[in-house]
Amino acid sequence: MSDFKLVDKEAREKISRELDRTFLVEAGAGSGKTRSLVNRMLALLRSGKCGINTLAAVTFTRKAAAELRGRFQTELEKEVLKEKEKKIKTRLSDALQNLEQCYIGTIHSFCAKLLRERPIEIALDPDFEEMEEIEDAVFRDKCWLDYLLKVRLEGEAILQSLDEVGLAPEDLKDSFTDVSLFPEVELMDGSKETPDFTRFRRDLEKFLLKAREVVPAERPEKGFDDLQRFMRRCFVRQRNLGFQDHRILMETFELMGRNLDVVKNRWPSKEIADDFQGRFRNFKEEIVIDALKQWREYRHSRIIDFLKPAICFYEGKRKQQSRLNFEDLLLNSSRLLRENPEVRQYFSRKFTHILVDEFQDTDPIQAEVILYLTGVNCEERDWQKLVPRPGSLFLVGDPKQSIFRFRRADIDTYNVVKEQIEKGGGEVLHLTANFRSLNSLAEWNNPVFERIFPTESDKYQPAFAPLNTVRVDEEKTSYGVYKITAPIVPRHKEKDIATYDAIAITNWISWACEGNVRLARTEEEKEKGLKSGAQPSDFLLLFRYKKNMNIYARALEERGIPFEITGSDAFSESEEIREIVNLARALIDPENQVYTIAVLRGIFFGVSDDELLQFKRKGGRFSFFSDFSGGGDLGEMRAGASLGKMREWWDWTKKYPSSTALEMIFENSGIINYLATSEMGSSKAGNLFKLLEILRAREREGQTSFAGLVKFMEELTSVHEIEEISLTPGRANAVRLMNLHKAKGLESPVVFLANPVGIRPHEPDKHVVRVEEVTPKGYFLFSKKGWYQAKLLSQPVNWEEKAEEEKKYGGAEETRLMYVAATRAKNLLVISTYEGDITKKRAWGVLDDELVGVPELEIPKKAEVREREKLVLKSGELKKAREELMGNIDMAIRPGYLVETVTSLAKKERELPGWSRSGFGMSWGRVVHNILEVAGKGDDGNLDLLAENVLVAEGRDVGEKRKLLKLIDTILKSDFWGRVLKAEKKYFEIPFSIKTDSTVLQVEENGGIEHDEKYKEENGEVEYDLMSKAERKEKGARGEMPERKEKGITEYDEISDREKLPIILTGAIDLAFLEKGGWIIADYKTDEVEKELEDFINYYGPQVKLYSKYWEDITKQKVKEAGLYFTSVNEWVKVYPGQ
């Protein structure tokens, strides 16, 4: 591309040239925001304005941070290679060598870095723990339950206050969650004035009296209509309950708020029907609406009084446990900088230049932190009055892509900072050159958004800026804007519309990938070796909402097209996760037959109800601790065997770490293979691995009991922020499916705006006022979620006014969402639409309005997304299949090799010496081994600290340190250790493996593994060992082979097969050191030996003899001596003189 095409060339040059000015760069879609950041960073380093250690780049996500870090390193390496001037080259080389000193990461990680460096000033535990969103959601739910328990025990007055307005604490969980995400906001109250219930009661009774005159007392021939049915309900409530209780009165008014249909032929006359319908409407508008407004405002104050202590309780629990969520990191950092000018000065020197990406989606508190760090006046506490130091701040963003208001991003904050930068002598630069899209896309997008965006920016919406594309359409390639129109379907069923759309899109993708579509490639794509032919990774399916994404994924799966889903909530809603939770519940509560039966009927075992019934009738008990051995038909055997398997899994939960036990269960049950081969298998199986990942993280935090992890799993299923993951996340060549909010910053050659049906716009439920207020004011609408819709509980005073204001912000953001959607494509944009009238539920809103005249995408073929065919088998086929399966399993379970350890081989059939146990166990041995290894390598300068760390790592009492150090000191002063230190070479903890055969199991005197005659006689080995192979073969043919009990082998062919198998022998040598004349092989023993030393030597001796034998076999070097070093008595015992 040539420079004359870059209409923003001057702005781009300022970024790298004017380093002493503060810039806010408004970079349109595809304009190279990351490139601008990297160029600014390189220019600062080249000029010497800052060093790599005082440079910080803050991004919106970890993924963006990783991308920026990689791009920065790559460009820095290029600059070092091509730079000629020595002084500049030295600066760049130093920066490259110390790249890790440059902070590049998210704002939350940046704040955590500040807090860990200066925690004392705000009385923060320096060892605080950062909580991820999932952890915080689970912790928040637990705190809510703890708060409810506390209130029930101690807060009678506050419970009474809620009861007086017809509320229970459980109704307010969703409200608690909402306000907890805005801890810095002052909750605006309701009304303290009691509504005029007497007047409302009188008005209602008067209305009902009139209604009785016209509402039919007898059921009409065709039944009551909705309004009649409701009025009869009111009559019953009046007769049975009365309206003296204001809660019943207001509940009746709430019921009147619904839309009630009138069927005129059910009334005495149409005129009576019309008249009463009008009177009912007037009563609602004149009485009910005002009454409900007063009631909800009155309720609101009670709810606020209940929620404020709950928020404080939640905050106190986080502080008590030294756990900080994302909001805590921001708020504490802001407070640290606001209240401590000297800390602000310190960090201003530490980070002289700060660059921020995606600033349009910055949290208001994030902006506060950034301005405290770069502001000129370190004494100023009001961040909105701060002016950045010239050149210290560089912000990149696009206000037309501000789409995260629901996550606290606030375009008002963007406008405030923009104004502060301009007041301080900074400048707003505009980048409009677009390197992403072809000209044909800009020719469609620019007129569309010029009509939608204002000419001048206002508080709700930024001004229009054109996409000045530089890529030219290429002949014989696919480009431009197309549409896919779904025909009208009965009742406008969403799934039918989505199914049609999915078929069309996936058919076209399949056809395109068969070589029928060519795409113009960018220079970057050509450098990666991409050809013009379309491939799966060229396609991106965007969804306005997450609903029905699985229909498109299933269509891709049907056609064998690889895909990846991002932004789906299927994890917590997945059947497989619920099944695993059921299993885990059953394993921690074995006597709960409900859980056990649920597991037996589920995907792990699939025992039918009839089989369970027969099992129960035959005396079976649904407990895996009961005796389930015995015969019976196949169904009974399946139920019994399944319970036996659950018992085995229960044993694993007692023997192994929780996540390890769960992983073993997954492998043993075959559930991963089962899920991977089912419909949407990659996502289903991937969810299991995500669950293991989450549980392992929980274990690292100290939650190690299986019961504790089960509780955590139960909590996870109620957290909807967890996205599913596939078996192959991040694979390079796959169609991507994601909701629109996940796509910001992404691009693709071909973009489908899929699923034309959205959802009805939600009414606002919150409005936060920040700019006009010193303390942000939060207006929240509190509701309780129901099966089909939420029930409104309360509203703050003046809510109607605030709701209208919020609608303006929400409408403006919806426009920006359409801008983001339309600007992701490089070559081809395809928008799905629907012929029917679904005006309020259109997914692609304003874009849909512009599709007149847009050509239809030609779909090469039509096919349905078929449901999986059900497998139908005849009984004979089933029997044959079972026999074949059992035969295959029998062949599969026959080993191809045997694994044996030197330890088990040497100690086989030997009795342990009868010694007095020390109580220290195997972990004590590992502790001693670890310290001796470090000491042997000459790093024994701080054994005190080492001993403490090793004890902690092994989970042992630090109080054992004194005993441990005393033992180590004795060893280090011993003659044996003196030999080790003088050795020419020495190696510690040497693992080895060697392939051998069954002859190693034969009796060898020097191997020390001979069985005595009594053992052989008892186990049928005498006759077996005396026979030659020919004799064994002959007797085997006649069926006269003696039974050999070892390992359950009784048949000749099995014995013969095992004899032929290779053996992988493994072991680990504690210590090997070289002296003149050969190697010394040593094995430490930490047993507490007293008078039975000889017994221990006989027991352990064969092991070290075998170590010596295989050391010589592997290294081809002579072993001079081998022995046992008993640490408890400080004695070296030679057991193998070497040959």
For residue 909, what pLDDT band results from cuts at 50, 70 and 90?
low
Question: Could you tell me what percent of the chain has a pLDDT over 90?
Answer: 50
Residue among 366, 373, 371 at smallest CA distance from 408: 366
Q: Where residue 573 falls among pLDDT bands split at 50, 70, 90? A: low
Rounded CA separation 754/483 (Å): 10
Element (H, E) at 911: none
Cβ neighbours of residue 620 closer than 8 Å, sequence gap 6 or more: 626, 628, 636, 639, 640
pLDDT score of 1055:
46
Identity of the residue numbered 312:
C
Burial of 514 (0-12, 13-18, 19+ CB in 10 A): exposed
**Distance between CA atoms of 142 and 703, rounded to whole angstroms?**
15
Given a cut of 70, whether residue 1032 has pLDDT beyond it is no
User: With contact defined as beta carbons under 8 Å apart, do 323 and 128 qualify?
Assistant: yes
- Is the entire prediction scored with pTM above 0.85? no
- Mean pLDDT, range 1044-1068, rounded to an integer: 59
pLDDT digits (tens, 9 = 90+) for 496-519: 999 999 999 999 999 999 999 999
pLDDT in tens, 378-428: 999 999 999 999 999 999 999 999 998 887 777 888 988 999 999 889 999
The confidence score (pLDDT) of residue 614 equals 81
Question: In the predicted model, is pLDDT for residue 1015 greater than 50?
Answer: no
pLDDT at site 1028: 42
Where is 629: in which H helix or E strand? none
Q: Is the pLDDT of residue 791 over 80?
A: yes
- Tens of pLDDT along 346-364? 999 999 999 999 998 888 8
Longest alpha-carbon distance in the chain: 120
* 640 in Cβ contact with 691 (< 8 Å): no
Q: SS3 for 298-358, per residue?
A: HHHHHHHHHHHHHHHHHHHHHHHCCEECHHHHHHHHHHHHHHCHHHHHHHHHHCCEEEECC
Q: How confident is residue 1136, by pLDDT bands cut at 50, 70 and 90?
A: confident
Is residue 929 within 8 Å of 989, Cβ to Cβ? Answer: yes
- pLDDT (0 to 100) of residue 892: 72
So what's the pLDDT on residue 675? 81
pLDDT at 1067: 86
Where residue 1029 falls among pLDDT bands split at 50, 70, 90? very low
What mean pLDDT is reported for the chain? Answer: 85
pLDDT tens profile 170-224: 999 999 999 999 999 999 999 999 999 999 999 999 999 999 999 998 999 889 9
The band of 1013, judged by pLDDT with boundaries at 50, 70 and 90, is: very low
pLDDT for 39 beyond 60: yes
924-968 tens-digit pLDDT: 888 888 888 888 877 666 788 888 888 877 778 888 888 888 988
Q: Which pLDDT belongs to residue 1031?
A: 47
Residue with tokens 């020919």: 1030
- The C-alpha atoms of residue 470 and residue 433 are separated, in whole angstroms, by 7
The set of long-range contacts for 309-317, using a CB threshold of 8 Å and a minimum separation of 24, is 309/147, 309/158, 310/144, 310/147, 310/176, 311/176, 311/179, 311/180, 311/183, 313/143, 313/146, 313/147, 313/150, 314/140, 314/143, 314/144, 314/147, 314/180, 315/183, 317/139, 317/143, 317/146
Residue 727 burial (10 A CB sphere; 0-12, 13-18, 19+): middle
3-state secondary structure of 464: coil
Whose CA is closest to 521, among 826, 734, 726, 793? Answer: 826
Quote helix, strand, coil % in the chain, to nearest 5.
55, 15, 30
What are the helix and strand counts (H, E) for the chain? 43, 27
Please write the tens of the pLDDT for every residue from 474-495: 999 999 999 999 999 998 999 9
CA 997 to chain centre: 48
% pLDDT > 70, the chain: 87
Whole-number Å distance between alpha carbons of 364 and 161? 35
The pLDDT assigned to 444 comes to 96
pLDDT at 612 over 80: yes
Written as one string, the DSSP assignment of 45-108 is: HHHTSS-GGGEEEEESSHHHHHHHHHHHHHHHHHHHHH---HHHHHHHHHHHHTGGGSEEEEHH
Query: If we measure between CA atoms, which residue out of 142, 149, 193 comes closest to residue 169?
Result: 149
Residues 6+ away with beta carbon under 8 Å from 586:
592, 595, 596, 598, 599, 646
Whether residue 1017 has pLDDT greater than 60: no
What is the Rg, in whole angstroms, of the alpha carbon atoms belonging to the chain?
A: 38
pLDDT score of 1010 more than 50: no
Residue 783 φ/ψ region, left for φ over 0, alpha for ψ in the -120 to 50 degree band, beta for the rest:
beta
pLDDT at 868 over 70: no
Pairing state between β 539-543 and 748-754? parallel
